[in-house]
Amino acid sequence: MDGGVKILTLVFACGLLAGFGVYAIVSSALPDPVHASLYTENAPEPIGPYSQAVRCGDYLFTSGQIGLDPATGNLPGTVAGEAVQAMENLRAILAEAGLDFSDVVQTRIYLTDLADFDTINAVYGEYFEESYPARAAVQVAGLPKGARVEIEMVAKVR
């Protein structure tokens, strides 16, 4: 190898190393695009230290939503009304991420009385088409604000 090729090779290698160094410095100052919290005014503000949703990699994880009306902070008077509002809150959170119910791959429904299962199931079913997401429904002793139903979702980011 002659001297000019060696110098050119050395300059190229130094440029690569400098580029990686600058990238490391700049990228460490940027927010992590793989793990980001999401917030929308179209769903109730969190009532505790949590995010409405978190995107991690290719998935969006929503926090459980009860039927709080985001405008008033009140719960509807019926369990069906609570289920509708919880689903509408989730719709708003998904929309903020550019997603919809067709992107949901898993849901969990928490209810305080299994006697309400059929009512909640009927409301829930209005929001999905086949193929349905995987789902669990669990009776719990209580939910925040005296709610009777809470629903959380995991969606695949497009």
Mean pLDDT of 112-136: 97
Say if residue 41's pLDDT is above 50: yes
Grade residue 18 by pLDDT with cuts at 50, 70 and 90. Answer: very low
pLDDT given for residue 26 in this prediction: 46
pLDDT given for residue 9 in this prediction: 53
* Beta-carbon-side half-sphere exposure of residue 3 (alpha carbons within 13 Å): 0
Tokens 């917030």 belong to residue: 39
More confident residue, 32 or 21: 32
Mean pLDDT of 28-57: 87
Beta-ladder partners of 38: 53
Say if residue 134's pLDDT is above 60: yes
Mean pLDDT of 51-78: 97
pLDDT given for residue 35 in this prediction: 84
Residue 36, CA distances (Å) to 92, 94, 104, 114 in order: 17, 14, 18, 35
pLDDT given for residue 16 in this prediction: 44
Predicted TM-score of the model (pTM): 0.80
Length of the chain as a residue count: 158
CATH class of 35-156: alpha beta
Q: Quick one: DSSP state of residue 64?
A: P
**Beta strands across the sheet bearing 149-156:** 35-38, 53-56, 59-62, 149-156, 104-111, 134-139
Helix (H, G, I), strand (E, B) or coil at 35: strand
Grade residue 3 by pLDDT with cuts at 50, 70 and 90. Answer: low
For 85-107, the pLDDT digits (tens) are: 999 999 999 999 999 999 999 99
